[in-house]
Amino acid sequence: MPVTVTTARADSPPRPVRAGQTLVSLEGVDKTFANGTVALSGLDLDIRGQEFVSLLGPSGCGKSTALRILAGLVDPSRGRVVWPGAADGDDHRGDIGFVFQEPTLMPWANVADNVFLPLRLRGVSRREAQGAIASCLALVGLDKFAHAYPRELSGGMKMRVSIARALSLRPKILLMDEPFAALDEITRFKLNDDLLRLQKEFGCTIVFVTHSVYESVYLSTRIVVMAARPGRIVAEIPVDEPSPRDESFRTTALYADLCRRTSAALHGAMGADEHL
Ligand code: ADP
Ligand code: MG
Query: pLDDT band at residue 235, thresholds of 50, 70 and 90?
Result: very high
Q: Which ligand is nearest to the CA of 57?
A: 1
Cβ-count burial 132-142 (b if 16+ within 10 Å, e if not)? bbebbbebbeb
Cβ–Cβ under 8 Å, residues 11 and 132: yes
Alpha helices per DSSP H over 33-125: 63-71, 111-121
Alpha-carbon span 135 to 44, nearest angstrom: 35
Instruction: Indicate whether 4 pLDDT > 50.
Output: no
Q: How far apart are CA 77 and CA 30, in angstroms?
A: 6
Q: What is the pLDDT of residue 206?
A: 97
**Burial letters 58-84, b for 16+ CB under 10 A, else e:** bebbbbbbbbbbbbeebebeebebebe
Confidence of residue 87 (pLDDT cuts 50, 70, 90): confident
State if residue 7 touches ligand 1 by the CB under 6 angstroms criterion.
no
Task: Say which CATH architecture domain 103-174+184-204 belongs to.
Answer: 3-Layer(aba) Sandwich (3.40)
**Peptide bond between residue 244 and the one before it cis (omega within 30 degrees of 0):** yes
End-to-end Cα, the chain, rounded Å = 48
Q: What is the pLDDT of residues 116-126, one digit of tens each?
A: 999 999 999 99
Atom of ligand 1 nearest to the CA of 59: 4
Sequence ranges of the domains in the chain = 29-40+57-81+212-276, 103-174+184-204
- In the prediction, which pLDDT does 276 show? 45
* Residue (of 200, 154, 204) closest to 180 by Cα position: 154
Cβ atoms within 10 Å, residue 36: 6
Alpha-carbon dihedral of residues 247, 250, 252, 255, nearest 10 degrees?
Answer: 140
Task: Provide mean pLDDT across the span 171-194.
Answer: 94
Q: Please report which ligand is nearest the Cα atom of 101.
A: 2
With 0-12 / 13-18 / 19 or more C-beta atoms within 10 angstroms meaning exposed / middle / buried, residue 185 is: exposed
Residue 229 alpha carbon, nearest atom of ligand 1? 14
Q: Is the pLDDT of residue 115 over 70?
A: yes
Give residue 94's pLDDT band: very low, low, confident or very high (50, 70, 90): confident
Sheet containing strand 38-48, edge to edge, reads 38-48, 22-32, 78-82
Q: What is the pLDDT of residue 7?
A: 39
Query: From the CB of 232, is ligand 1 less than 6 Å away?
Result: no
Check residues 226 and 3 and name the one with the higher pLDDT.
226
**Rounded distance, CA 162 to CA 179, Å?**
9
The response to whether residue 229 sits with its C-beta less than 6 Å from ligand 1 reads: no
pLDDT of residue 1: 40
Neighbours of ion ligand 2 (CB under 5 A): 64
